[in-house]
Amino acid sequence: MKAIVSFLVVAGALVSTAVPASEELAKSKGCLTCHAMDAKILGPSYKEVAKKYAGQADAETKLADKVIKGGSGVWGNIPMPPNARVTPEEAKTLVHWILNLK
């Protein structure tokens, strides 16, 4: 019984920190300078991105590439600059998190 309780405590801690960890990654890489969860700043809100790319099979790969290389024209006249501080693995983590926002 103690083992089950311990497992549930650890599992609960992991689940409760998964989303904030991705948000912390976004903060540490400067993403939140131009993006917010629910509101447009310079770039679209993360929830707008999730809605626009919902159901697109190649969205994670395409957007992870844009995080690193930058992009323009999809959301208006302000280009998204490249972010060389983000590794490919971090970009995948960030995009997966963003695309799963509700």
Structure token digits, residue 98? 């963003």
The answer to whether position 12 is within a domain reads: no
The answer to whether position 70 is within a domain reads: yes
The answer to whether position 1 is within a domain reads: no
Instruction: Write down the mean pLDDT value for the chain.
Output: 85
Structure token digits, residue 95? 């995009």
Mean pLDDT computed over 35-40: 95
**More confident: 10 or 50:** 50
Statement: residue 10 has pLDDT above 90 = no
CA pair distance 38, 53, nearest whole angstrom: 16
Q: Which residue has the tokens 């290389």?
A: 69
Contacts of 100 (CB under 8 A, 6+ apart): 50
Residues in a beta bridge with 71: 80
Q: What range does the domain containing 91 cover?
A: 20-99
User: How sure is the predictor about 21, in pLDDT bands with cuts at 50, 70 and 90?
Assistant: confident
pLDDT at 15 (0 to 100): 47
Mean pLDDT computed over 28-48: 95
Percent of the chain with pLDDT over 70: 80
Q: What angle do CA 85, 91, 95 make, to 5 degrees?
A: 140
3-class SS of residue 71: strand
Number of domains in the chain: 1
